[in-house]
Amino acid sequence: MEKRKISKNKLNFLEEELEFMKKENLITQEQKIDIIDNYDIVRLNFVRIIFTIGAILVGLGIISFIASNWNSISKMTKVFIIIGSYIGFNILSYKLEDKYPKTSKSFLYIGILIYGAGIFLIGQIFNYGGDFPKAFLFWGVGIIPVGLLFKDKLAFIFSHIFLLIYLSKSYNLDYLSYCIILIIPILYYINKHLGNSKVGTFFNNLLSLSTVLYFLNNYNIDVFYTTVIFLIIGLFMYYIKIDVNKEIFKIQGLIVFGISGLVLTSPYIWEESFNFIKSGVTISLIFSLLYVLYLFYETNKGNLISLIFICITILRYYFDTFYDFMPKSMFFITSGAILLLFGHYFERVRNKRGGEFIEK
């Protein structure tokens, strides 16, 4: 069985717990050793860092060289240089994968950089204006097969980042935009193929949430309804019964719920969305009360994120109500006191439950 990778602190904690169990005669020394042998410490791979930085510098150097001699090179030569470099570095990466895996990864990253630069440069060669964000869409989609072929998690993350850049910068909804909907299930499948990493799940969820927001904005859905939709999505992510990386779904779900709920505590969002509401103060206060009660319920179970949103909500009302009337020194003292009180409350709950918390 392959050893599980954990941090040094977690391994030390595990050893202390196992030593306690051994002293209580719950396990033997041999069992303790057998359990410890199933874990290995995750160490910072210095060699891989050197290769990655070197790959980035080489890739940037090649791009800089091509760009500096751009005007003196014919169009077809430019295209052949870009395509040839991209294919060449990927072939090198593939050939060296078994014998020199770290060197192979560095060539893979150079290829990814050249591929992305090539999209922009080829567009410049043939005077293809287009939308600037679409280049990031092509870049993100294009490196997905490479990441899958080489089973490289960093390339997988790069694809998410480029797709997120596209979603954040693109304001024109067209047929290419809908390909994101098709890509997301593929990314979840790839992450499963790569061992269901927590980082991969986090970025998959982030991309999915960004895609929902992108389409809601482009279809001009009212801010109120968009916020309510994300409130529901947050609750769904938090309570969904899933066996893989459930904690990631719960963390992101509660954050989405917390931010959405915080937005809905504002009376202005209710007034702007419903013409018959002349003053949204009452309805926003009712919602705020229910919102904070739910957060207290979660905080009582030891959820730190809920406590953070309770503090933010209280400070928001505090800012709105007292900031203009209270001396600044008293304002900061009171704000700090509120945070200290909540910190003390959380510590009490933590001690009461013996430290068994979902510190998210």
User: pLDDT at position 261, please?
Assistant: 94
Dist. CA 141–CA 160, nearest whole Å: 9
| Residues in CB range of 100: below 8 A, 6 or more apart | none
Dist. CA 158–CA 110, nearest whole Å: 13
| Residues in CB range of 67: below 8 A, 6 or more apart | 121
Instruction: Determine contact, residues 90/84, Cβ cutoff 8 Å.
Output: no
Dist. CA 44–CA 46, nearest whole Å: 6
The dihedral of CA 106, 111, 113, 114: what is its sign? positive
| Residues in CB range of 33: below 8 A, 6 or more apart | none
Overall pTM surpassing 0.75 (yes/no): no
> ∠ at Cα 93 (88, 97), nearest 5°?
155
User: pLDDT at position 350, please?
Assistant: 62
User: pLDDT at position 161, please?
Assistant: 92
Read off the pLDDT of residues 298-329 as tens digits, 9 standing for 90 and up.
887 778 888 889 888 887 777 776 655 555 56
Q: Which residues of the chain have pLDDT under 70?
A: 1-3, 5-9, 41-49, 51-52, 55-56, 59-60, 62-72, 124-131, 275-279, 321-332, 334-335, 338-339, 342-343, 345-347, 349-360
User: pLDDT at position 356, please?
Assistant: 46
**DSSP output for 218-284:** HTT--HHHHHHHHHHHHHHHHH---SSSHHHHHHHHHHHHHHHHHHHT-HHHHHHH-TT-S--HHHH
Does residue 192 sit in helix, strand or coil? Answer: helix
Q: Which candidate, 13, 55, 54, places its Cα nearest to that of 35?
A: 13
User: pLDDT at position 81, please?
Assistant: 78
How many residues are there in the chain?
360
For the record, the structure tokens of 38 come out as 């199933």
